[in-house]
A and B are shown apart, each in its own frame.
Chain A
Amino acid sequence: MAIPLIEKTAKNLVFTVQDFSLFAYQAAINLFRPPVYWPEFLTQSDIIGVGSATIVVLSGFFTGGVLALQSASTLAQFGATAVTGRFVSFSMIKELGPVLAGIMVSGRNASSMASELGSMVVTEQIDAMRALGVDPMRRLVTPRLFASVAMLLFLTIVADAFGILGGAFVTIFMNGQNATQYFHQAYQYLRWPDILQGLVKPLFSGFIIASVGCFHGMRTTGGTEGVGRSTIQAVVWASILIIFVDFLLTQLLLTVFP
């Protein structure tokens, strides 16, 4: 009884991974073959980039603040509160900024992509588009994919900057430390590989958010209930994959830039 179930689950998993790989490849390769829908790319960049800016700014600012609060109390035991700026900037730029921006944008945009495309599937709008001779992959998926990659890069920089500012706010106004010392520490020990590490990750996160969101949306079945199911799956899988890929990338980049 258990063996057939395991076999069926394993097969489903393999087929899903295969379908997802083909889907993501097709969406990516479309950018290099006409027609490319640039107006749609700009619209999606606005929705993803400008639309997500507020949540990224707020979550980045408060995460930086929390980091400063927590690190200051620990560092005080060693008489090292002076390095709070360094601690906050390293944590934000190398790890928290990219992951935080990825998770926040995933919650907002992977879900919206899955629900929007899912609704179009169940109301036959995707079939209508195909019947009118337009490729939904090119028209809907490819612009979302590249807008997501491009915008997540900028959103990560925004999250990093506001995280450092949040840390500065706590350090200066709540812990009563020197502002020059904080920013000096935050800047002085940063190396290019640290910044590179922080900027490579959002490229992967952006790809994951759009490809997973669109994949689940385009595979929606079962009416409006199916749309809800696709939306949940998109957010869950995008979030898990972002953290998993972050782990792999960190390991890889630490090997390359020890």
Chain B
Amino acid sequence: MSDAVGSKPRDAAARPDSPVVAFRAVSIGFANPVLHDIGFKVAPGETRILLGPAGVGKSVLLKLANGLLRPDSGSIQLFGEEIADMSEESLFSLRTRTGMVFQESALFDSLTVRDNVGYQLIQERVADDQIERRVREALSFVGLEQTFDLLPGSLSGGMRRRVAIARALIHQPELLLYDSPTGGLDPVTSTTIIELIMKQRDVSRTPSILVTHRLQDAFMLCTHRFDSAAGHMVPLPDGQSDPGTTFLMLDQGRLIFDGSLHELVHSEDEFVREFLE
């Protein structure tokens, strides 16, 4: 795992074409309706970028995908299992197969970086030396080996986000969920984070859903690839985009776009055009 944190193709390998995540007619509301009649799929190896203005329900959709929230109606399948009505107990084991990066990192304040990144392994009572090795590997993947013994409070926003990525990757997830991983970060740090996401996408082919309202991040993911030999991202030839990276767009609680970069930039939808401009 020197280059990337690998993914374990468990059920996905048994049914290579079945979607990793499938939403069908999903609706949810709290005091007011938030999402209405949402339907889309994430295929193995696919990266879906979820765009939309702030407060439209992007984070809610992401939390629905691994059962942190329950829909009012509709069906959600995760790794082929229906999770809309699944008990919380059963969801815990299913969630260990996913990795999630939260908007504000959501690191445990009272634990060191080592214990944060290795949290899942500690809960599973993995041997200490193995935890140490795997945590160092995950931290090395995000370029933060030196933070091993530090508390999250002493890290910058960008470093916290990278530690959160390391925590999401350590268990070799079969699905990654990124909730605005570059939100509130400066452009240089944002690029570092996007490069890490790209590295995971291109080296391990881990399927993912990435929520963002920053178009530059979304386009960069589509128009670049990670060059393992060079150790950094490189642009794809002019006019080309990553075929496994596609877009979803939400507006007023509805999914108004589902397609490729080419389809997105040539969309006739008024809101899509306005959003892109």
Tell me if B119 and A132 are in contact (CB < 8 A): yes
Q: A132-B120, A133-B120, A135-B88 are in contact. Are A125 and B95 (CB under 8 A)?
A: no
| A44–chain B nearest beta-carbon distance, Å | 13
Query: How many A-B pairs fall under 8 Å by CB?
Result: 49
Tell me if A130 and B123 are in contact (CB < 8 A): no
- Chain B residues closer than 8 Å to A129, beta-carbon distance: 108
Report the interface size class on chain B.
Answer: 20 to 34
Tell me if A130 and B106 are in contact (CB < 8 A): no
Task: Report if B104 contacts A (CB, 8 A).
Answer: yes
Within 8 A of B (CB), among A65-123: 123
Task: Report if A253 contacts B (CB, 8 A).
Answer: no
Q: A127-B63, A127-B68, A128-B100 are in contact. Are A133 and B106 (CB under 8 A)?
A: no
Tell me if A131 and B123 are in contact (CB < 8 A): no
| Nearest-CB residue, chain B, relative to A138 | B92
Give complex CA distance A132, B116 in Å: 11
Task: Report if B206 contacts A (CB, 8 A).
Answer: no
Task: Report if A134 contacts B (CB, 8 A).
Answer: yes
Tell me if A124 and B103 are in contact (CB < 8 A): yes
Report which of A124, A131, A134 forms a contact with B66, defined as CB distance below 8 A.
A131
Give complex CA distance A127, B59 in Å: 12
Give complex CA distance A124, B93 in Å: 20
| B206–chain A nearest beta-carbon distance, Å | 16
| A81–chain B nearest beta-carbon distance, Å | 53
| Nearest-CB residue, chain B, relative to A133 | B96
Tell me if B106 and A127 are in contact (CB < 8 A): yes
| A119–chain B nearest beta-carbon distance, Å | 8
| Nearest-CB residue, chain B, relative to A131 | B100
Tell me if B95 and A128 are in contact (CB < 8 A): no
- Chain B residues closer than 8 Å to A132, beta-carbon distance: 95-96, 119-120, 123, 167
- Chain B residues closer than 8 Å to A127, beta-carbon distance: 63, 68, 102, 106
| A62–chain B nearest beta-carbon distance, Å | 34
Tell me if B88 and A128 are in contact (CB < 8 A): no
- Chain A residues closer than 8 Å to B123, beta-carbon distance: 132-134
Report which of B68, B107, B119 forms a contact with A130, defined as CB distance below 8 A.
B68
18 additional A-B residue pairs with CB within 8 Å, beyond A125-B106, A131-B95: A124-B102, A125-B108, A127-B102, A128-B100, A128-B106, A128-B107, A131-B102, A132-B95, A132-B96, A132-B119, A132-B120, A132-B123, A133-B93, A133-B95, A133-B96, A133-B120, A134-B119, A135-B92
Q: B residues touching A (Cβ–Cβ < 8 Å)? A: 63, 66, 68, 88-89, 92-93, 95-96, 98, 100, 102-104, 106-109, 119-120, 123, 167
